[in-house]
Amino acid sequence: MSDPATSLPATRPRHAAWVPGGRLDGVATPVNLPDDAPLVGVLALQGDVHEHEVVLNRVGARVRRVRRAEHLDGLDGIVVPGGESTTIGKMLRRFDLLDDLAARLAGGLPALGTCAGMILLSRELDQDFDQPLLGVLGVRTRRNAFGRQVDSFDTSLDVAGIDGGPVDVSFIRAPVVVEVLDDDVEVLAAVDLGPVVVRQRNLLATSFHPEVTGDDRLHAGWVATLGS
């Protein structure tokens, strides 16, 4: 296990852009981050981990990849990225991370879940899929609610609490919230099919991928709440 680096290097020589393990960090925006910047974990079992890391660094957070329970110590927040929710769920269970992470989230660790991350945070699925969930967010979610990949789409939409106009987002085989299960779940954005951004106490979840568009406002708003 390599050291879970706390942030991307401040500078990266061009010839070293290609790094082992598919981590093509060449496009990361080099940033110098102070030691007291929020430390955000990105669950790194599968999915678009790197895209989140780049955005998090850009909005002033240090980043650590989380693949073992011990990587959860000392985090100010955690991102559950986009990916395949079945795969990430199975890996959470196989590598004994599911219960530890669920307990930390129930104990107040702030989390941002995008797409697969929203599914994994949810308490219930409305489909009969046998897949492990963290089960901490009081919503029932439907996977692939918009259809198959040919139905995936780019759009922009208003999100409550995000200033500066509609947020530019991509819905890729995206889920939707079909039922809010707890009174303290806030719906921050919705489309015809249902809520697509929800918040419950320390948990924020989006159906779409704010990390692939270059519109960093959602991450920036979330990071600004960490450690406070």
Partner 1 sequence: MNTPAGDPAATAPATGTTRVKRGMADMLKGGVIMDVVTPEQAVIAEEAGAVAVMALERVPADIRRDGGVARMSDPDMVDGIIDAVSIPVMAKVRIGHFVEAQVIQSLGVDYVDESEVLTPADEAHHIDKWQFDVPFVCGATGIGEALRRLGEGAAMIRSKGEAGTGNVVEATRHMRSIAGSIRRLSTMDTAELYAAAKEFRAPVDLVREVAETGRLPVVLFTAGGIATPADAAMMMQLGADGVFVGSGIFKSGNPEERARAIVEATTNYDDPSVIAKVSRGLGEAMVGINLDDLDASERYASRGW
Binding site for partner 1 (CB under 8 A): 1-2, 14-15, 17-22, 24, 26-27, 44-51, 67, 82-84, 86-87, 90-91, 94-95, 115-116, 127, 129, 143-144, 146, 148-158, 165-166, 170-173, 189-193, 209, 212-213
Q: Given 51, 53, 71, 211, which residue is catalytic?
A: 211
207 with 190: CB under 8 angstroms? Answer: no
DSSP3 helix / strand / coil % (the chain, rounded to 5): 25, 30, 45
The DSSP bridge pattern shows strands 153-157 and 167-171 to be antiparallel
CB of 85 to partner 1, least distance (A): 9
Q: 69: closest CA among 91, 36, 37, 87?
A: 91
CA–CA separation, 12 and 43 (whole Å): 24
CA–CA separation, 23 and 77 (whole Å): 22
* Residue 115 among the catalytic residues: yes
44 with 78: CB under 8 angstroms? Answer: no
* Residue 211 among the catalytic residues: yes
| All residues at 6 or more sequence positions from 101 whose CB lies less than 8 Å from its CB, including other chains | 43, 69, 72, 78, 92, 134
CB of 192 to partner 1, least distance (A): 5
Nearer to partner 1, 11 or 228 (CB): 11
CB of 88 to partner 1, least distance (A): 9
CB of 65 to partner 1, least distance (A): 11
Secondary structure element (H or E) that encloses residue 107, with its range: none
Q: What is the CA radius of gyration of the chain?
A: 17
Nearer to partner 1, 15 or 36 (CB): 15
CB of 134 to partner 1, least distance (A): 17
Q: Given 70, 115, 124, 179, which residue is catalytic?
A: 115
Nearer to partner 1, 144 or 201 (CB): 144
Nearer to partner 1, 27 or 34 (CB): 27
* Residue 219 among the catalytic residues: no
Nearer to partner 1, 123 or 173 (CB): 173
Q: Which residues are catalytic?
A: 115, 209, 211
